[in-house]
Amino acid sequence: MKNHTKLLLTTLLASAALPASSHAATVFDATRASLDGIVGQAMVNAPALGYYDGSPPTSTLVGGTGSTGLGTRYGQDLVYRYTLPTLNPGETIQSFTIGFQITEFRDHNQDGPELQVYLLDTADPTTTGDSLFYRGTTTDPDHPLVGTHFEDAGGSNGSIVLDPDVDVLFTINSGAALALLQSFYGGDHIPDQAEASFRFNLDKGVAPDANGLNRYFVNDDASTSGFEITAVPEPSAALLGGLGLLALLRRHRG
């Protein structure tokens, strides 16, 4: 019995000292709060510049579209907003995954536009108007990049419908985007802000003119679209749990 108890105590101490990643993880499937749009470039008769809360002019468009003949060409970013879940007490975020599906794209200029996804460093993007709209060949200095995706048009400047649709998953387990998401929780398991917002934009700084038809279309109803958070016990919580069991065993021996 003594040897058995000693072995059990050694096992408990060893498990208590293990890093958080070795303990069971909890996956939280965040609920989408809204799909918004930011119109940041427009010709006459196009949607007005600004943030469209819950009602983007085209809910599947990332990029530029419209007709030059009618003077309605415009450029748009999408913003997916997700309600941040409350984690279990003693847990911290280990990683997150953002998924979406591309159904169609066009590379009118044949300059290879990428679809970029950023985690926005703001609690409420609707208060910033169209200032969050982004087009640039360099990384946005104000918001951390989550990932980029590229479809090759093969030299064609026409619209290409993808068959099958392309599912894209970005899993982030380190870096600035993860640190920003963790900061939304203020050091504990309860979020300090209601939502996390992800902006979808192109990396090409083109105007919505005759050469500005670069665009991607996403399926906002795809089952593969969404935002998940993986959380694990903090190392201190795991250690305290192990020490608590150790104290109970010592009392049992006494």
Q: Give the Cα separation of 228 and 84 in Å (integer).
A: 10
pLDDT of 176 higher than 60: yes
Q: Give the Cα separation of 104 and 170 in Å (integer).
A: 19
Displacement of CA 239 from its chain's centroid (Å): 31
As a whole number, mean pLDDT of residues 85-103 equals: 98
Task: At 8, give phi and psi (nearest 5°).
Answer: -65, -40
Q: Give the Cα separation of 243 and 239 in Å (integer).
A: 6
pLDDT tier for residue 99 given thresholds of 50, 70 and 90: very high
Show the CA angle centred on residue 224, arms to residues 223 and 227, nearest 5°: 105
Q: pLDDT at position 254, please?
A: 54
Give burial (CB, 10 Å; 0-12/13-18/19+) of 34. middle
150-171 pLDDT tens trace: 999 877 778 899 999 999 999 9
List beta partners, residue 79: 36, 199
Q: Under a CB-based contact definition with an 8 Å cutoff, are residues 81 and 194 in contact? A: no
Please give the sequence-ordered ranges of beta strands (E in DSSP) within the chain, or none if there are none: 26-42, 50-52, 61-65, 74-83, 91-106, 114-119, 145-150, 159-172, 195-202, 215-218, 226-233
212-239 pLDDT tens trace: 778 999 998 899 999 999 999 998 644 4
In one letter, which amino acid is 136? G
List beta partners, residue 10: none
3-state secondary structure of 15: helix
As a whole number, mean pLDDT of residues 90-110 equals: 94
Sign of CA dihedral 88, 180, 40, 65: negative
**Predicted TM-score of the model (pTM):** 0.84
Q: pLDDT at position 28, please?
A: 98
